[in-house]
Structure 1
Amino acid sequence: MKRRFIIMLAALLVLSMALSACSGQTTHQNQESQQSGKQTAPIEITYNLQTEPRSVDPAKNTAIDGGTVIYHVFEGLTRLDKNNKAEPAVAEKWDVSSDGLTYTFHLRDGVKWSDGKPVTAKDFEYAWKRVLNPDTGSEYAYQLYYIKNGEKYNKGEAKAEDVGVVAKDDKTLELTLESPTPYILELLAFFTYMPVRQDIVEKDPDGWAQNPETYIGNGAFVMKEWNHNDSIVFEKNPNYWDAGRIKPDKLTFVMINDASTELAAFDNNQIDFGDNPPANDFPRLREDGVLHIDPSLATYGYVFNTKKAPFDNPKVRKAFSLAIDRKAIVETPPQVGQKPAGGWVPPGLPDADATKDFREIGGDYYDVNKASVEEAQKLLAEAGYPGGKGLPEITLLYNTSEGHKQIAEMLQEMWKKNLGVEVKLANEEWQVFLDDRANGNYQIARLGWFADYIDPMTFLDMFTTGSGNNDSGWSNKEYDDLIDKAKRTTNAAERMQYMHQAENILMDEMVVIPIYFYVNSYIVKPNLKGYHVDPLGYTYFHEAYKE
């Protein structure tokens, strides 16, 4: 999710000095190759991560910033290729039982942790059971409910030894699923499925992932420095099994929250890649040939706290949603190409017929081109609040950002004009905002969601009862049952039908307000090549280099 925060102008001078110190020579050009007898210059790349990650522990991270760090330091049994299909990584091959329930993974030779110790199948078994252990408190534990007895263990209804993952020996991992899962190999590349070392984690359960000395990974890079709220420095991992593929010698992830400050650093050659360019500068950036805008599998919206009045009433929630003119929001300058959202699941995800789109088949749940004012007013009156009278004080919460503020102010005005409702606005720093949303300390809060894998399920199972990412507090047994059926059936048409029915319930109950479907905008120095930006929101520098 995109995040831009306000920083005082004076901070730019301090930041400029800090960037110069931490980024090294960001304008290095590759010299002639070693074959010509000349030494190749080190490849150093500076990327703007934007914010201090809330966590970089694979079991506890839920955000793109933390995931970006994890993907550069760790590697799973599989990894995603540039078409987001699973390919062998730590596992060089696997066998699948005829019923599609049991996978036997064979780890390749020579896979090591960054400290030189061998990676074993037991590291994966420990890591996955740690995610599912209720004491860990992993918000993404539900992503491992595909594993036999994973959900039961997470809910205290089974023991760790009942979970369907077993290290048969150092090189062989057996995975047993609850039901055949068509995207399981892609899901195994997700950061929550990364291995971790039991000895490292248990020596310092709360601090191991905060200290470069104990942040031991098995991926392409090693964390060398973490200057909190400023920068993270990585170097190539010489013990990585596929080290020959890795081009950068050094990566520096800086944390510039403000879009204008990011652009100033980019213009001053202090960063090579920025994910948060100011939309007002798009015309100039296009002309300079440094702006890129790609489709993104993500939805921008707001979530209701369904446990607090007045949003415990679905009619009130629907009234607030229908009173919004989504087209006006996306067409308000500066425009960046977003499309108004007619549902929660974005376009770009296949339906049962892979040539057709889930969103296209599902259609829009309301008019995305204008507010449905009369219907919204009618629903609010039926809920007992005609003209907004009698409503308690309402506050909309968003994480500090000029872009989020602009949209929040537009919603504030629409609700006042169309419903007669006064809504206050409040903003919080990113990590405080995440904590308050997760703990239910809000009434309406901004929500952005990127797909974790290429399937509509990634947008739907997050709202099941008890899901770690279900910040709404909403619970619906029929919805839960449909998601469960979708996960268990082997019939592709039935599976998609269940998910469409589930989205119908989610939108009828209006647990979330979809506003628009994201695009991914970023700026890159013309000489930086070989990086990969995927529609899931992550940027990879494993094969990046400079011309």
Structure 2
Amino acid sequence: MPLQPSVGLAATSTFALGILATLLTTGCGKRGTAVAAGNRDQVIHIGNLTEPTDLDPHVISSQQDAQITMALFEGLAQYDPKDSTPVPAVAERWEHSTDGLTWTFYLRRNAKWSNADPVTAHDFVFAYRRMLTPSLAAEYASMLYVLKNAQPLNGGKLADVTQLGARAADDHTLVLTTEYPLPYLPSMVCHAAWYPLHRPTLEKYAGLTQRGSAWTRPGNHVGNGYFVLTEWKPHQFIRVTKNPHYWDRDAVKLAAAVFYPIESEDAEERTFRAGQLHTTSTLPISKIAVYRQEKSPFFEPHVFLATFFLRFNVEKPPLNDARVRRALSLAIDRERFVRDVLRGGQMPAGHLTPPDTAGFNARTKLAHDLPTAQKLLAEAGFPGGKGFPKLEFLYNSTEANRLIAEALQQMWNKGLGIDITMQNQEARVQTVSMRSGDYQIGRFAWIGDYLDPSTFLELMTGDSGNNLTRWRHADYDRIYAEANRTADNAKRYELYQRCEEIIAAESPIAPIYFYTRNNLRRPEVKGWYGNLLDNHPLKGVYLDPAAAVK
């Protein structure tokens, strides 16, 4: 899942003040801060970085979108809040055939939509067919390619949707047939791409194949999660409240949650200190050392499966030459980035997949190697950088992104003798630019969707909706497909090693660092844990006023 970058600080200062005014005048007023009122009323206030692209789980495009939709929908399984392993949700249990190709999920008979309609296996089948509709162009459609005939359906090569490996044996039994044995399927179905949808609602608001239709708006939205959508004031906040029809409603302790798209790291931190947020999405680099040194009770960093990397658009010369891409990658001093620029506990990334992802550790390690970088650039026809065309690096200027951009510019100029200009765009515009191919070099970050290396390596396949480098490599796709069909984990991981080797040799991306989550959370927030996927289901979260810092 992409980690959504935030917009420039200057563009959001007035905006952040508007949010702060909203916090001070809604839900607390003269009674005190939003946090104090929330502690009393079990209403959690969450900094969520950006305005969601949508609340349609089939077209969301960032982790921040997913945190909201996770409260509004529930899949067959859900992420355990402590370790991100799958636990039963709409499906109370599941089993698979001896050959591992057929999975049967048994749905709860008391599962209901927020309008009190029953949730059935047919709702899942409908959702999967809709996700694979070519005209919807869902970025995550490829996640369902594990189902039999999903890829030809999504590619328009097969029209008969009944051939999809998903059928309702009855209202409460869903049968999935996969293209190959998939032991981690229960982890995959936790993801938003696998949520059910309420067909009558989508039909009513013309949302079957249309993005941005009115079905996701308050008053229209029908979900099956533990919360319902009650307010959405664009660029101010989204409020969700407890769903009275949720099958396990007694386990839901919060009365409501409010998500704020505070896109400036500095403004979000100030809003937290003002007592208006229970948790932030991030923390300014300049403040990390301060909170660490003071041993703040609000600061609890944790490692999670996410990689920051550069995308190279291989259709833009000279980036169509692997020697140039590899030269740019090898000229990056990753150790310096972590030590001198980021200073937040991150790890240098010499490969795409984070270390120890379900026991997988890539042997390939890109390192700072300036002599080889200079040699490759010369071989590509640009000795000492002579004749190298001006390229543009597209980024979003959070404090971290600005510092990274400046460090890259300096490294490439000093080490290779080339000039790279910097271009800042608002987050949504940057996403559009990269999806349309209107960029040369772009910053990007990816967080794992489930606990397996395939959640990272699938990114670089030719058919992945999230591979925006325009790079396609027949051997990579073949090896990745072979790995997926290999039941033996040791052999599968060896094939994944070859995928990492191809990425390093071809360099359609340049991994820079592995993330550490640096954010703030108040001690009164209970049931919220740091975990490898950085997912935080709110079902078991509650607020304990007695734990608040006095």
Query: Which of the five TM-score ranges fits, normalised by the shorter chain?
Result: over 0.9
Q: Work out whether 1:231 is the aligned partner of 2:266.
A: no
Letter in 2 for 1:483: Y
Structure 1: gaps of 5 or more residues: 32-40, 352-357
CA shift for structure 1 position 114: 0.6
CA shift for structure 1 position 333: 4.9
For residue 288 of structure 2, what is the aligned residue in structure 1?
A: 282
Local SS of the residue matching 2:146: coil
Question: Of the candidates 496, 500, 505, which is equivalent to residue 499 of structure 1?
Answer: 496
Between 328-337 and 472-481, the greater mean CA deviation after superposition: 328-337
Distance 1:476 1:219, change over 3 A: same
Aligned sequence identity (%): 35
Local SS of the residue matching 1:448: strand
Local SS of the residue matching 2:232: strand
Cα distance in 1 for partners of 2:136, 2:530 equals: 31
Between 324-333 and 499-508, the greater mean CA deviation after superposition: 324-333
What is the TM-score when the length of structure 1 is the normalising length?
0.93
Q: Work out whether 1:328 is the aligned partner of 2:355.
A: no
Question: Of the candidates 236, 243, 251, which is equivalent to residue 257 of structure 2?
Answer: 251
CA shift for structure 1 position 411: 0.4
Letter in 1 for 2:338: V
Between 50-59 and 182-191, the greater mean CA deviation after superposition: 50-59
> 1:143-154 counterparts in 2 under 5 A?
143-154=143-154
Cα distance in 1 for partners of 2:445, 2:341 equals: 21
Q: Work out whether 1:363 is the aligned partner of 2:363.
A: yes
Number of residues of Structure 1 aligned to a counterpart in Structure 2:
527
Local SS of the residue matching 1:309: coil
Q: Work out whether 1:469 is the aligned partner of 2:477.
A: no
Local SS of the residue matching 1:486: helix
For residue 65 of structure 2, what is the aligned residue in structure 1?
A: 66
Deviations 1:97-117 (A, max 9, x none): 111111111111111001111
For residue 386 of structure 2, what is the aligned residue in structure 1?
A: 389
Name the structure, 1 or 2, with higher relative contact order (CA <8 Å, separation 6+).
Answer: 2
For residue 107 of structure 2, what is the aligned residue in structure 1?
A: 107
> 1:389-468 counterparts in 2 under 5 A?
389-468=386-465
For residue 530 of structure 1, what is the aligned residue in structure 2?
A: 527
CA shift for structure 1 position 337: 0.6
Letter in 2 for 1:479: Y
For residue 185 of structure 2, what is the aligned residue in structure 1?
A: 184
Q: Is the 8 A contact 1:339 1:518 kept in 2?
A: yes
Cα distance in 1 for partners of 2:38, 2:145 equals: 47
Deviations 1:172-204 (A, max 9, x none): 111111111011011011110000011111222
CA shift for structure 1 position 329: 1.0
Q: Work out whether 1:213 is the aligned partner of 2:219.
A: yes
Deviations 1:446-476 (A, max 9, x none): 0101001111111111111121000000011
Q: Work out whether 1:169 is the aligned partner of 2:179.
A: no
For residue 265 of structure 1, what is the aligned residue in structure 2?
A: 271
RMSD over equivalenced CA pairs, Å: 1.7
Q: Is the 8 A contact 1:23 1:46 kept in 2?
A: no
Cα distance in 1 for partners of 2:309, 2:139 equals: 20
Between 94-103 and 468-477, the greater mean CA deviation after superposition: 94-103
Distance 1:119 1:2, change over 3 A: closer
Cα distance in 1 for partners of 2:37, 2:141 equals: 44
Q: Is the 8 A contact 2:363 2:497 kept in 1?
A: no
Local SS of the residue matching 1:200: helix
Local SS of the residue matching 1:145: helix
Letter in 2 for 1:218: N
Letter in 2 for 1:403: A
For residue 132 of structure 2, what is the aligned residue in structure 1?
A: 132
Letter in 1 for 2:231: E
CA shift for structure 1 position 209: 4.8
Between 277-286 and 236-245, the greater mean CA deviation after superposition: 277-286
Local SS of the residue matching 1:516: strand
Distance 1:2 1:533, change over 3 A: farther
Cα distance in 1 for partners of 2:354, 2:232 equals: 35
Distance 1:443 1:30, change over 3 A: closer
For residue 307 of structure 2, what is the aligned residue in structure 1?
A: 299
CA shift for structure 1 position 321: 0.5
Letter in 1 for 2:56: D
Q: Is the 8 A contact 1:394 1:423 kept in 2?
A: yes
Letter in 1 for 2:34: T
Letter in 2 for 1:529: K
